[in-house]
Amino acid sequence: MTIATGFKCVDGIVLAADGLYTEGIAKLYGQKIFSIPSNGHYALLIAGAGGVPSLKGIVREIAKRLDARIGQRATDFSHLRSIVEGALGSYYPKHIDSAPQDARDDLGVQLLIAMWVSGSGTRLFESCRTAAFEVEDYRCVGIGSHLAGYLNDIFFPPGERPSVRIAEPIAAYIVGRSKHYVQFCGGRTFVRALLDDGTDERVWNEEIRNSEDYIEGFFASVGRLRGLLGHALQPHDVDLAPFTRDLKDSIIDFQARQQSYRDKHMAIGRRSRGL
């Protein structure tokens, strides 16, 4: 099943997933987030947990139906949702429900679908077999979903909606911890965002590693404060100034590193386009 998580943000949708494909006793690696890029009217970003061949097949079916039924015309979320459900309703009976009973669990998928519609921003949906339901905050799917949900609640209490820039490093860390602690989660971490202006934003490997290292270091720093919970120190003897200075410096360094990685890849992109 592995792991995928999605965040509804104030300015877009963030999706993250691991990169381990488990097929029987074989372990392979690849992406689990797929983009149907903006044509000026709509765009989709799809992540999934479960049978990777089914995930790829359903994404192809969605793309085919979008081309056939909407093409380059304007649309709305209701129409996009009906096309996604139509693709699921076509794929499941033919390729999953028709399989032997003991093989169906390995073939089934759970999808997280970010949709963008011109002039209407973004919305996040999750699939349950052949139906799609809107998600108002966040969702974690796959075998690592319980750990991912717990970590999400630590960072974002119920009702709190982050920005894309805040959710991206948190999503990377959540998937990273799931890979560390949960069997059948592994491979690379993939993080992408679909912004409210239709931009499909990729988070680069350096940003993901930097995010995981920073947040892990943050928790280690907080852990060192546990000694203050004992009775050996009196409250008036506690000096938190060094800790707060180190925390501030680490935040500044983290943000600077993230920006440098983005700038580097933007420069590479401009050179590749001859700009």
pLDDT digits (tens, 9 = 90+) for 13-51: 999 999 887 665 567 788 899 999 999 999 999 999 888
Structural domain for 214, as ranges: 206-272
- The residue out of 175, 203, 231 marking a domain boundary is 203
Same domain, 47 and 132: yes
| 142-182 pLDDT, tens digit each | 988 888 888 888 888 777 889 999 999 999 999 999 999 98
Cα gap 123→114, rounded to integer Å: 6
Task: Check whether residue 167 and residue 216 sit in a common domain.
Answer: no
Q: What is the CATH number of the domain that holds 191?
A: 3.60.20.10
Q: Among 171, 203, 235, which residue terminates a domain?
A: 203
Same domain, yes or no: 263 and 158: no
Instruction: Give the pLDDT of residue 220.
Output: 86
Q: Are residues 212 and 231 in the same domain?
A: yes
Q: Are 175 and 26 within 8 A, CB to CB?
A: no
Per-residue pLDDT reduced to its tens digit, 197-206? 999 999 999 9
Do residues 95 and 57 lie in contact, with contact meaning Cβ atoms separated by under 8 Å?
Answer: yes
Contact 9, 152 (CB under 8 A): no
- Domain stops at, among 171, 186, 203: 203
Residues 119 and 185 grouped into a single domain? yes
Query: In this structure, are 171 and 55 located in the same domain?
Result: yes
* 212-259 confidence digits (pLDDT tens): 999 999 888 888 777 777 666 676 777 778 888 888 999 999 999 999
Segment 56-97, tens digit of pLDDT: 999 999 999 999 999 899 999 999 999 999 999 999 999 999
pTM: 0.91
Q: Are residues 242 and 115 in the same domain?
A: no
Same domain as 120, residue 255: no
pLDDT on residue 148: 87
| 199 and 220 within one domain | no
- Taking the C-alpha atoms of residue 4 and residue 113, their distance in angstroms, rounded to an integer, is 11
Residues 6+ apart with CB under 8 A from 103: none
In the chain, how many domains are there? 2
Residues 198 and 223 in one domain: no
In a shared domain, residues 188 and 227: no
